[in-house]
Amino acid sequence: MKIEAVRNTAFAMPLTNPAYPRGPYRFYDREFIVITYRTDRAALEAVVPEPLEIDEPIVKYEFIRMPDSTGFGDYTETGQVIPVRYKGEKGAYVHAMYLDDDAPIAGGRELWGFPKKLASPKIQHDGDVIVCTLRYGQALCVSASIGYKHRILDAAPIAQSLAQPNFLLKIIPHVDGSPRVLELVRYHMTDIVMKGAWASPAAIDLYSHVACDVARLPVREVISAVHFSADLTLALGEVAFDYLAPDGA
């Protein structure tokens, strides 16, 4: 393959058989279960990178069922998202994500810098509750339960929160092991179509694991839980801050 052909065709690895298609990516009937809890401020300060700022010691633990997504297929994902501010603008920092499908792991890490790792999250309906679990190998790392659609919510505020900017720390090493790319990336969800939202009581337990460290942000108090579904587009991102540039620009 000629040098110019490599330049014109390369967008993902492997060069001649990429692990995922070009974006953006549309998701249909995406089901969210989000448990908001209070944690220790010191624990958050140890994982949220500057120049992001923390207001309250809050974590949103998410389980997401994605049965129909362009390019990525059918999979389930879970992880921790932290409310933050960047230059006065409210948003969310994606701290950890675990899922069961190779294509969105590769695409998420390479394109945006999503902190994705391979694991086994599950969302299961069990009578009058929904049970959510995360296993890393054979080990149980998260166990959560939420009542089934106890109270209908106005979906508009949830749609507004989904449209807020999200932030990621993208790290790509050089061949010598030093960072070649070290960026704070900003991305948005767009074209959001809400299909229903409900509030319910919930419980969640996090368990220590060396390779799945969700428990480093301990649960001190469950504040709220919501269950909702939506169609949306995961838009491509932009660099908000370059850690390798002298002024971050």
Length of the chain: 249
Catalytic site residue from 60, 87, 90, 116: 116
Exposure of 200 in the CB half-sphere (CA atoms within 13 A): 21
3-state SS, residue 106: helix
Q: How far is CA 149 from CA 62, 95, 119, 155, 228, in A?
A: 16, 27, 27, 13, 9
116 tagged catalytic: yes
Q: Which amino acid is at 78?
A: T
Q: Are 153 and 198 within 8 A, CB to CB? A: yes
Residue that the structure tokens 């969700």 belong to? 214
Catalytic residues: 116
